[in-house]
Amino acid sequence: MEDKFLGKQVDYPQSYAPEMLVAVPRYLNREKYHLSNDQLPFIGFDSWHAYELSFLTKKGLPVTGLLKIVYPATNPSIVESKSLKLYLNSFNMHRFGTSAKEGLDLVLSTIKKDLDKLLETDVNLGFFNAENDDAQFDFDNYTILEQSKNVDEIEFVHFNENPQLLTPSNKKGELKVASHLLRSNCKITNQPDWGSVYIHINGDALPDLDGLLQYIVSIRNENHFHEEICEMIYKRLWDTYSPNELAVSCIYTRRGGIDICPVRVSHQHLLPSKLISSDILSSKLLRQ
């Protein structure tokens, strides 16, 4: 099911085509990390930004904007990204409504109905067609790991995920760190996916920062979907440090007109409120 469209040449549908949507069960990856859907050590959301939503009104006026999709990490499946791209493009030449507003209401209700059914959950949608000069960011006051003074002295030799690099420091308390060096690859096409990871951890054992950066770099040749990478990092940190609180957010750059930003946290209050709100367009990172 994962490779129904990935890695294949597929013609874009010329009219509304809900049959293009493909659901991928989450358990397929979670089993590897001993994650049970019934006893997950996290709550979270997957936030998607689709930059190419467009349709026509009945008079042929194009309506174009950014679609934000948010759904919980506790539902059974994710939507495969290329299938979503093909599905959204099926609206491009389809006509909805006598006005832009009426058409948009029809399109959003249609997309919600289709995604709710596919993902077996309540999907929240937002639509944006103007820049937001007051856009806010959830991840202020994070230390960027690769900006440390001694980064050029670190030896990076592992480029496949290696949790043994996660060594403890002699510190405890709260740590908020980030890296823009996250890179993984699509598990089907092997195309690179670039992103940033934000980690908030609180406990009696904290990671050594050099080791944590080496670990993030070691993901470079891993082949997983974005959601799976986020859960892998979370589970490794959870198992290694047994923290009181943990939050991992991965903000990937867009590919194929879509970016995917999964969030996994141990407690509700750690959720990044702007990123997971469908009616808020938070500020973007450099590569988004």
**At residue 80, does pLDDT exceed 60?**
yes
Query: Domain 143-270, what fold?
Result: GTP Cyclohydrolase I, domain 2 (3.30.1130)
pLDDT-wise least confident of 3-12, 48-57, 162-171, 227-236:
3-12
> CATH number of the domain at 18-128, please?
3.30.1130.10
Convert the pLDDT of each residue in 258-286 to its tens digit. Answer: 999 999 999 999 999 999 999 999 887 87
Extract the tokens encoding 152: 């050029």
Asked whether 126 and 159 are in contact (CB, 8 A), the reply is no
pLDDT band for position 47 (cuts 50, 70, 90): very high
Q: Which residue has the higher pLDDT, 131 or 242?
A: 242
Alpha carbon of 33 to those of 80, 155, 187, 229: distances in Å? 21, 27, 16, 11
* pLDDT, position 198: 98
Domain segments of the chain: what residues?
A: 18-128, 143-270
Mean per-residue pLDDT, 32-44:
92
Bridge partner residues of 203 (DSSP): 173
pLDDT at 110: 98
pLDDT of residue 135: 80
Contact between residue 216 and residue 250 where contact means Cβ atoms under 8 Å apart = no
Whole-number pLDDT of residue 9 = 59
Q: Is pLDDT above 70 for 176? A: yes
Burial (Cβ within 10 Å: 0-12, 13-18, ≥19) of residue 140: exposed
- DSSP-derived 3-state class of residue 170: coil
- Whether the pTM exceeds 0.85: the reply is yes
Res. 225 pLDDT band, cuts 50 70 90: confident
Active-site hit among 46, 138, 186, 250: 186
Rounded to an integer, what distance in angstroms lies between the CA atom of residue 2 and that of residue 45?
A: 20
Our answer to whether residue 193 is catalytic in this structure is: yes
**Tokens in use for 170?**
């002699």
Q: For residue 138, what are its two tokens?
A: 């959830």
Name the H helices within the chain.
Answer: 27-30, 81-89, 100-119, 209-218, 226-241
Closest by CA to 210, choosing from 259, 153, 252, is 153
At CA 189, angle to CA 187 and CA 21, rounded to 5? 80
- Evaluate whether 40 touches 75 at the Cβ level (below 8 Å): no
Residue with tokens 């141990």: 266
Lowest mean pLDDT among 8-17, 74-83, 247-256: 8-17
Question: Whole-angstrom Cα distance, residue 236 to residue 266?
Answer: 14
Average pLDDT over residues 175-195: 91
Residue 89, both tokens:
């493009």
Report the mean per-residue pLDDT for the chain: 93
Asked if 230 is an active-site residue, the reply is no
Catalytic residue among 193, 230, 259, 261: 193
CA-to-CA distance for 165 and 178, rounded, in angstroms?
17
* pLDDT, tens digit (0-9, with 9 covering 90-100), for 124-172: 999 999 877 678 899 999 999 999 989 999 999 999 999 999 999 999 9
Element (H, E) at 142: none
